[in-house]
Chain A
Amino acid sequence: MENTSNNWEKKPREMFYFRQRYKNRVFNRLAEFFAGEAKDRGLTKKIISERLGKDPAQITRWLSNPGNLTFDTLSDLLFAMEAEPEPPVIIRLEEKAKPNYVCFMISEVLESKSDVKLEPIEIVISGTSTDFLELPLEPKAEEHLQ
């Protein structure tokens, strides 16, 4: 087994970056889920606050900023939404797949080339229909999405 401990050159900035990136991804998923429950089932922050015995303002604070979330509050919020999070998928950075979609403007600027033909796919997010040009998803690639 290769000993990589001597190859560690990561800097504090990267560590803080990855922390915030993870918080943002979790928070985004939570916000998206709550928006869906609000739309589909009439769930409100007031209902959540009543279920948890918390001040509604506290629920608003939890749902307004990734920095306000802890493992406990995330679990509690989802518990009140009658849901639970699944454990995160853990992937080595070196094994992460290539992105399965790149915004046209970025790809034009970077002049990236893809051998895969792009097919238009309609995706519904929180009740809003949005057209994407997206590569057909491989099951492994789909896990890497937020």
Chain B
Amino acid sequence: MSIKDEIKDKCDRKMIFPLVPLVPGATMRRAMFISEELWNDLNSEEGDLEWEERIGQLQADLENFVTARAIDSKYLFLLYPSRDCVWEIRSRRPSPSIRVLGQFAQRDVLITTNMALRKDLGGWQSRGWKEVKRASRAIWDWLFGTYRPVQTVDVNEVISGAIDGKYFK
């Protein structure tokens, strides 16, 4: 089974979900598949205004990966060490800032695995970061077993439309 078939299989089994833009007519340049936990958050029951604002903006920020013609390094970043192949998407406003972690199945196909509040993570070599990266790898392994995510420090190998910049520490 190819990685494409694996992704389709996991979607059929509702282990991951394709992120389809809510607004009609949006060009889908890249694919993002989100974990069940994140899917549940994005489709949660109506909460207080603060929750609604945060979730609405997170949805838009994630869709940015799918629809944007150009992506910059303030939005998508490769976490250290590169061999872990864990990337983060930054959803920074409003507070709290959210980091959505994921790994690339192939170019322009991102599997988001988990997310965390930036304020809970500390410095970039902190225990908090190590735990969320470990969780991301574990979720990937659970989903795709022996298939390895794309391992590279060159952003152009994982996405199209990358603006020149520093995507890796």
Q: Which residues of A come within 8 Å of B, CB atoms?
A: 11-21, 24-25, 28, 31-32, 35, 38-39, 64-67, 93-94, 96-106, 108-110, 125-128, 130, 132, 144-146
Contacts and interface: CB of A to CB of B under 8 A. Distances in A.
B24 A96 contact: yes
A106 B20 contact: yes
Ranked nearest first, the 4 interchain pairs of A and B with the lowest CB-CB distance are A16-B56, A67-B93, A96-B25, A20-B60
Contacts of A32: 69-70, 163
Interface residues of B, number: 48
A13 B163 contact: no
B57 interface: yes
B4 A108 contact: yes
A102 B11 CA distance: 17
B56 A15 contact: yes
A91 to B, nearest CB: 8
Contacts of B60: 16-21, 24
Contacts, number: 144
30 contacts: A14-B22, A16-B56, A17-B22, A17-B56, A18-B23, A18-B60, A20-B60, A21-B23, A24-B60, A24-B61, A28-B64, A35-B72, A35-B164, A64-B74, A65-B74, A67-B92, A94-B24, A96-B23, A98-B24, A99-B27, A101-B29, A103-B28, A103-B30, A105-B7, A108-B4, A109-B7, A109-B11, A110-B18, A126-B70, A146-B67
Contacts of A105: 4, 7, 31, 108-109
Contacts of B93: 20, 65-67
A101 B28 contact: yes
A109 B160 CA distance: 20
A109 B56 contact: no
Contacts of B163: 31-32, 35, 126
B25 A28 contact: no
B57 A17 contact: yes
Given A16-B57, A109-B11, A93 B24 contact: yes
Given A18-B60, A128-B156, A146-B67, 7 more contacts: A11-B46, A24-B60, A28-B72, A32-B69, A39-B164, A101-B27, A144-B25
Nearest to B11: A109
B49 interface: yes
A103 B29 contact: yes
A35 B161 CA distance: 12
B68 A146 contact: yes
